[in-house]
Structure 1
Amino acid sequence: MRPVPEGSAGPGEQAAPNDYDSFAEAYSTQNETSLFNAHYERPAMLDLAGDVAGRRILDAGCGSGPLSAALRDRGAIVTGFDSSTKMLELARKRLGDDAALHLADLGSPLPFPDAAFDDVVASLVLHYLEDWTAPLAELRRVLTPGGRLIVSVDHPSIGLVQPGIDYFATYKHSEEWTLGGHTALMTFWHRPLHAMTEAFTAAGFRINVISEPLPAPGARELFPDIFVDKPSGAFVCFLFFVLQAD
């Protein structure tokens, strides 16, 4: 559940690290229209999911629910969880009082039985975690045999453009976001591609797809300044995986 801020709201209240509660409304509003969320990451996740009619899908780190809503509109039976109380309040407003939404943290055991879901979507979530071992084991546990885990994360090559950074290391980095008058320190974990793939296979997943998609059609017209130096329309931002539970 990560936005990429495209502007700043100016100085404001300093929130605790990774505290989405402090700017939930502003985050959700931006997420609806931003290039990186609305016209790149979310369409890519939906394309990778394909035909989801009748499939039981867990939205891990559902935020305010835009991906859950899109999957439900396509006929999926969606359950969501997030660690942010305020994000879940917004998700419930979007999805309705009867939506299956849970307060839970991917770093802890999940409140779902074994083999409860046909698919799990983890949209911009895993890069908040230092150790993927237990979270991936939990996601594997709640999937049916042959079920899919569809993941988006920060593209690891972003670390290559930072002087003095070892691409092959797993390391923590932080940045400040200002949204809705609140300035929050956001902390992420960079890991190289081989560390990601090794974590997936060690958890019992087969890697079916690694994707670096183009943005959705029409993005160039909506954000012309961003595409001035990108004649192909492609840019490095997130990396996507479709994994199958063995």
Structure 2
Amino acid sequence: MADVRSVVIVSLSTGSPTPARTHRSEDVMRADHYDNFARSYSIENESGFYNAYYERPAMLTLAGDVQGRRVLDAGCGSGPLSEALRAKGAIVTGFDSSPAMVELARTRLGEDADLQVADISLPLPFADGAFDDVVVSLVLHYLQDWGAALSELRRVLKPGGRLLLSVNHPRILESRDPNADYFSVTQHSGEYTFGDEHVVLTFWHRPLHAMTDAFTEAGFRIAVISEPPFSSDTPPELLPPDLGDRKSFICFIFFVLEAH
């Protein structure tokens, strides 16, 4: 499900994402699920507060100087992060499991862009050690099992390469549901609105220790754990009214991992 990214509506009084309705679900999102609302999702992702002024700037800050580095955007969606990395001098390859998202990315990046349809939960069509960095923006929280995906991402990284990723913060489930078991790996779903599209997105909560265990088991060393503030250039009109003077809130958590 390499197309997956979430735009989270945050209740800043509790610091938790609050979709219109939250429920437990046994359904698993199809790899091409985003095809049904790709364009409306892309529009929201382009300029919405949580993606354009929080998650994406944080990922770019963690990436730092990428001039001349070979970067894989795993779950590239419609390509805004790929575009930003390329503007910083990176040599970018992207993939997504949604053909509609890949077409939007190709429109954005040009016909010569290195883009393809692939699924992060399956073997990837790239050589061992092909990349200096891999970025995985709001993808892994859609997977129950991180082991296979992390192993593949480790395989395509050169020794010493970096995996930069963001996922839903592990405190989110508990703040939505006080009776939830923080220490379990738990599936939960919510209804979201992108433009005129109303969709159900399904996530897998995992506690922080389960995340870090999965990273080390796949052959990574944890270099950075980040809970960053939103971008300082956020237009004031986009800020949630109950944020007050705070610059940080519970929404996503970010990691920089180094491949052994």
TM exceeds 0.5? yes
> Which residue matches 1:193?
208
Change (3 A) 1:178 1:221: closer
Q: CA deviation at 1:96?
A: 0.4
Length, aligned pairs only: 238
Aligned residue number for residue 165 of structure 1: 180
Indicate yes or no: 2:19 matched with 1:4. Answer: no
- CA-to-aligned-CA distance 1:161-194 (integer Å, 9 cap, x gap): 1221001110100111232433222111000000
Shift of 1:17: 3.8
Give the match for residue 43 of structure 2.
29
Partner residue in 1 for 2:237: 222
**In the alignment, which residue of structure 1 is the partner of 2:75?**
61
What CA distance in whole angstroms lies between the structure 1 residues aligned with 2:195 and 2:244? Answer: 30
Amino acid at match of 2:203: F
TM (norm. structure 2) is 0.88
Cα distance in structure 2, aligned partners of 1:127 and 1:192:
11
1:138 pairs with 139, 149, 152, which one?
A: 152
Structure 2 distance, partners of 1:223, 1:179, is 16
The answer as to whether partners of 1:120 and 1:139 remain within 8 angstroms in 2 is: yes
- Residue 114 of structure 1: SS of its match in structure 2? coil
Contact 1:220 1:233 survives alignment (8 Å)? no
Which of 159, 177, 198 in structure 2 is aligned with 1:183?
A: 198
Structure 1 position 232, deviation (Å) = 2.3
2-side partners of 1:17 and 1:211: how far apart?
28
Question: Amino acid of the residue matched to residue 5 of structure 2?
Answer: R
Which of 150, 170, 184 is 1:156 aligned to? 170
Which residue of 1 is the match for residue 24 of structure 2? none
In 1, Cα distance between equivalents of 2:144 and 2:78: 24
Conserved 8 A contact 2:45-2:52: yes
Q: In the alignment, what sits opposite 1:13? A: none
Q: Distance in 1 between matches of 2:166 and 2:249?
A: 15
**Which 4+ residue blocks in structure 1 deviate beyond 6 angstroms?**
none
For the 8 Å contact 1:55–1:118, the answer to whether it is kept is: yes
Structure 2's unaligned 5+ residue stretches are 11-19, 21-27
Matched residue type, 2:124: L
- Give the TM-score, by structure 1 length: 0.92
RMSD: 1.7
